[in-house]
Amino acid sequence: MLDNEKIKLLESALSNQPSVLAKDKYFNSAVLVPLLFINDECHFLFEKRSSNIRQGGEVSFPGGEMDSKLDKNFEDTAIRETTEELGIATDQIAIVGEMGTLVAPLGVTVDPYVGKLNINSIEELSIDSKEVEKVFTIPVSFFLENQPDTYHINVRAHPYDVDDEGNKIELLPVKKLGLPNRYADPWRKARHRVLIYNTPGEIVWGITAEIVYEFCKLIVDSEIC
C-alpha cells in the first residue's frame, strides 16, 4: 500500500529518471500526476476534459503546453496548468518528483510530475468548466492490481501531405536532395502500443494510461509497494 512514508521512497526513485535529446523539435508539454489520500488510501486524481475542447470527453491528468513566457521549467508548467484547471492554490501542491519524459509517436513530449495535493476532498476544488467537465479519483491500488489491455496502431513516416483538393504537398524533397527513391513514398510502418485501463467509471487510455503504467512499474520495481 502506498502511504505517506512510501511517498518519501518514491521521491528518491523519481530523482533518477532520464532525459531526452533534441527535445525542442517536439511539442513540449507537462502534466501533474496528482495524488491525494482518501481514508488513508492513496488515489490518483483524473480529469474528464470538456466536450468543447480538443480531446474533449477524454480522461487525462491536468497539464498542457509549456509557455516560455510564464514557465521557467516544465515543473512550472505542470503546476500552472493544474492551478488553472482545478482551481487549487500552488501551496496546496507538493511536488514529489519528475517521472522523466514520455515521447509520443506524433511528435509530442510529456513531462509528468508527481505531486501530492494537500486537500481533504475533491469538493474543495473549483474546476474550470471551460476545460474540465469533472474530476474523479481512483485508488492507486486498482492499477497495481489490474493490468491494462494492450492494443496497437500503425504509425508511418509520410514525406508529403495532401490538401483538401487532393494536391500533394511535398514536405521532404527526396529527388532534389538526392535521397534514395524509397523515401519518396510513405515508409516504416511502425507499430505503436496503446494501453487501455477499463476502470469502474471511465476508460483511462493513451498517454495518460502510459503514465499510470510507468508510475506503477516504478513503485513496484523500486519495491515501494
Q: What is the mean pLDDT of residues 57-86?
A: 96
Name the residue with cell 520495481.
221
Q: Which residue has the higher pLDDT, 151 or 190?
A: 151
Q: What would the pLDDT profile of 193-211 be if each residue is shown by its tens digit?
A: 999 999 998 999 999 999 9
d(CA 195, CA 206): 6
- Per-residue pLDDT for 2 more than 90? no
| CB 31 within 8 Å of CB 45 | no
d(CA 108, CA 177): 27
Query: Which pLDDT belongs to residue 24?
Result: 82
Domain boundaries, the chain: 4-145+206-221
Query: Which pLDDT belongs to residue 14?
Result: 79
- Per-residue pLDDT for 10 more than 90? no
- Give phi and psi for 152, each to the nearest 5: -140, 150
- Give phi and psi for 176, each to the nearest 5: -60, -35
- Per-residue pLDDT for 188 more than 80? no
Q: What is the mean pLDDT of residues 23-44?
A: 94
CATH number of 4-145+206-221: 3.90.79.10
- Per-residue pLDDT for 225 more than 70? no
d(CA 138, CA 207): 17
Q: What is the mean pLDDT of residues 160-174?
A: 94
| CB 94 within 8 Å of CB 115 | yes
Sign of the CA dihedral with 180 first, then 181, 186, and 189 last: negative
Query: Which pLDDT belongs to residue 114?
Result: 98
Q: Which three cell numbers stand for residue 187?
A: 515508409
Q: What is the mean pLDDT of residues 68-82?
A: 96
- Per-residue pLDDT for 29 more than 80? yes
